[in-house]
C-alpha cells in the first residue's frame, strides 16, 4: 500500500529548517518515518540550509573565540544518556518514530461512542496538543471546527474522506477553512496521531452535549 | 557575501577537513573550518533572533560539536555545509527550549528528533542523486524573490509573519511565494539530469 497524501512542501521545508512547533514536528516526523519520498525532499532542504548558511555575510567573532574553543577540545565528553525503554512499544502502537515512543502517554479516554483519545505529554512547551485518536469501524469522526491547524497521520486502519483513502502513513491537514468529515473504513479500528493547535469546537448535537466533558 | 572564485574547491575541502578531524584530530583542519563557518553560524543565530553574545556562544558551541561529532559525518549522505547546518539548527532549537525553561540546562534530545529511522542506507543512496551540486544548481534556477523567501524561512519560528514584514508584502503573498518556491525546488530536484 503506498502513501497518497503528503504534507505540503513548505511544511517539510519548515521541518528541515527546524522552525516547526514541536507538536507539529512530531506528526511530520511520523509521516517521514513511512515516506521515503518526503524524507528525501526534507534531506535536500537540509542541504539548502547548508547553502544558505555558507552564503550569509559573516558576523565578526570575538578575538579569542577560536582559542576558547580550542582550549575545550580535549574536555571529556559527557556520555549520552542511556536509551530509556520506550513507554509505548511498536507492537502496541505501530508507526511511531523511536523518540516519540519514549514520551509519556496518558490513558485512553472515552470521548464519544467508539471514539477514544490518548494524550501524549510533550516534554517541551508547544502550541499544539498531541494525542492518539482511535475510532471504531464505520465511525463518522466527530464533526468539528478549530481555530488553528490540525495535522493528522494515520498509524493503523484507514478512513475515507472526500473520495480519498487514508491508510497508514497518510497525512491530512485541517484548518479553519476546511470542512472535513472523515469516515472510518470497515474492518478495524483507525488509530491516528493528531497535533491540534487552538481550540476545538465540536459541532452537532452530540458534540454540544459532550463538549463540556472533553478536555482537549 | 564572499567572492571566492575557487568556492567549489573550498567546498570540496570542507568535507575532507571534517574527515581529517575524525581521522587524526587535525587541529589545523579545525581552525580552517572555524574560520569559515563560525562567523556565518553567528550570523545565522543573530538572524534567528539571538543576541550578539548568545550568537557568539552558540557559534562556539556548534564548532565544538563539529569537532566532537566529526566521526559521525558521512560524506556520502550529506555535504559538510549541510551537516554543520543541522548541528547549528539543533543547537538553536535547544537554546530556545532552555530559554523557556528559565536557563535550566538539560541533555538535549533534539538530535534524535531528526533521526527519523534506524536505517539511513536507503536515504544515502537517494542522497547521491540529490548531491550538494544538484541542490545548488536547483537553487540558481529560482527567481530572486523565491530565493529570498526560501532563505528567510530558515531563520525564525515566526518565519512567515516576519518575512512579510521584512519584504513588506502581505502574509498571504509570502505563503504563496514560499509554496511556489518549494514546489519549484522539488520539481527541479526530481528532474533527471
- Closest residue by Cα to residue A35 from A78, A63, A58, A3: A3
Determine whether the interchain pair B178/A10 forms a contact, defined as Cβ–Cβ distance below 8 Å. yes
The per-residue pLDDT for B126 is 54
User: Cα distance from A40 to chain B (closest Cα, Å)?
Assistant: 7
Greatest alpha-carbon pair distance for chain A in Å reads 68
Mean pLDDT taken over chain A = 86
Determine whether the interchain pair A50/B67 forms a contact, defined as Cβ–Cβ distance below 8 Å. no
Buried b (16+ CB within 10 A) or exposed e, A109-141: eebbeebbbbbbebebebebbbbbbbbeeebeb
Is domain B130-193 classified as CATH 1.10.10.10? Answer: yes
Give contacts of B55 with chain A, Cβ < 8 Å. Answer: 59
Structural domain boundaries of chain B?
A: 1-118, 130-193
Interface check for A70 against chain B (CB to CB < 8 A): the answer is: yes
Give contacts of B146 with chain A, Cβ < 8 Å. Answer: none
Q: Which residues 145-174 on chain A approach chain B with CB closer than 8 angstroms?
A: none
- Weakest mean pLDDT among A105-109, B104-108, B187-191: B104-108
- Weakest mean pLDDT among A88-97, B22-31, B79-88: A88-97
**Residues 6 or more apart from B169 whose CB is under 8 A from it?**
B177
Which residue carries 518575512 as its cell? B163
Q: Tell the CATH superfamily of the A1-56+94-211 domain.
A: Jelly Rolls (2.60.120.10)
Comparing CB atoms, the residue among A36, A56, A97 nearest residue B40 is A56
Structural domain boundaries of chain A?
A: 1-56+94-211
Q: Which residues 81-140 on chain A approach chain B with CB closer than 8 angstroms?
A: 81, 97-99, 123-125
Helix axes B132-140, B171-190, angle to 10 degrees: 130
CA dihedral B152, B155, B158, B162 (to 10 degrees): -40
d(CA A75, CA A168): 46
Mutate to test the interface with B, among A8, A29, A34, A49 (most CBs of B within 10 A): A49
Q: Per the structure block, which three cell numbers stand in for B154?
A: 530558515
The per-residue pLDDT for B77 is 74
Question: Residue B174 in 3-state DSSP?
Answer: helix
The per-residue pLDDT for A216 is 47
Give contacts of A8 with chain B, Cβ < 8 Å. Answer: 179, 182
8 Å CB contact between B14 and B6: no
The third-level CATH classification (topology) of the domain covering B1-118 is Rna Polymerase Sigma Factor; Chain: A (1.10.1740)
Amino acid at each position: 500500500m503506498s502513501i497518497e497524501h503528503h504534507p505540503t512542501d513548505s511544511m517539510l521545508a519548515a521541518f528541515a529548517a527546524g522552525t516547526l512547533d514541536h507538536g507539529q514536528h512530531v506528526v511530520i516526523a511520523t509521516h517521514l518515518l513511512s515516506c521515503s519520498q518526503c524524507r528525501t525532499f526534507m534531506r535536500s532542504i537540509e542541504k539548502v540550509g547548508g547553502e544558505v548558511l555558507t552564503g550569509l555575510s559573516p558576523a565578526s567573532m570575538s578575538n579569542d573565540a577560536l582559542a576558547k574553543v580550542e582550549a575545550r577540545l580535549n574536555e571529556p565528553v559527557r556520555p549520552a544518556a542511556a536509551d530509556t525503554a520506550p513507554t509505548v512499544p511498536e507492537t502496541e502502537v505501530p508507526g511511531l518514530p523511536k523518540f516519540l515512543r519514549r514520551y509519556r502517554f496518558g490513558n485512553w479516554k472515552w470521548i464519544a461512542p467508539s471514539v477514544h483519545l490518548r494524550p501524549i505529554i510533550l516534554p517541551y512547551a508547544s502550541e499544539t496538543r498531541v494525542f492518539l485518536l482511535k475510532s471504531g469501524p464505520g465511525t463518522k469522526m466527530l464533526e468539528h471546527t478549530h481555530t488553528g491547524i490540525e495535522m493528522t497521520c494515520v498509524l493503523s486502519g484507514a478512513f475515507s474522506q472526500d473520495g480519498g483513502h487514508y491508510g497508514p502513513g497518510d497525512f491530512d491537514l485541517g484548518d479553519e477553512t476546511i470542512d472535513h468529515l472523515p469516515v472510518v473504513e470497515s474492518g478495524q479500528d483507525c488509530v491516528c496521531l493528531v497535533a491540534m493547535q487552538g481550540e476545538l469546537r465540536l459541532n452537532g448535537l452530540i458534540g454540544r452535549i459532550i463538549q463540556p466533558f472533553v478536555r482537549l | 557575501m564572499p567572492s571566492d572564485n575557487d568556492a567549489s574547491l573550498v567546498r570540496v575541502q570542507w568535507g575532507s577537513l571534517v574527515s581529517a578531524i575524525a581521522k587524526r584530530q587535525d587541529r589545523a583542519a579545525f581552525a580552517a573550518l572555524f574560520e569559515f563557518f563560525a562567523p556565518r553560524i553567528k550570523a545565522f543565530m543573530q538572524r534567528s533572533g539571538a543576541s550578539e553574545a548568545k550568537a557568539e556562544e552558540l557559534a562556539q558551541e556548534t564548532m565544538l560539536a563539529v569537532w566532537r561529532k566529526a566521526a559521525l559525518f558521512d560524506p556520502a549522505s550529506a555535504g559538510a555545509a549541510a551537516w554543520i547546518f543541522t548541528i547549528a539548527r539543533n543547537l538553536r532549537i535547544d537554546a530556545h527550549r532552555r530559554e523557556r525553561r528559565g536557563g535550566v540546562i538539560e541533555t538535549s534530545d533534539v538530535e534524535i528528533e531528526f533521526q527519523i529511522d534506524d536505517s539511513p542506507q536507503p536515504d544515502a543512496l537517494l542522497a547521491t542523486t540529490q548531491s550538494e551540486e544538484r541542490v545548488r544548481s536547483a537553487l540558481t534556477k529560482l527567481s530572486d524573490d523565491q530565493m529570498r523567501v526560501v532563505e528567510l524561512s530558515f531563520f525564525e519560528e515566526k518565519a512567515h509573519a516576519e518575512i512579510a514584514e521584512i519584504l513588506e508584502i502581505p502574509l498571504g503573498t509570502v505563503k504563496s511565494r514560499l509554496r511556489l518556491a518549494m514546489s519549484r525546488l522539488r520539481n527541479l530536484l526530481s528532474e533527471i539530469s
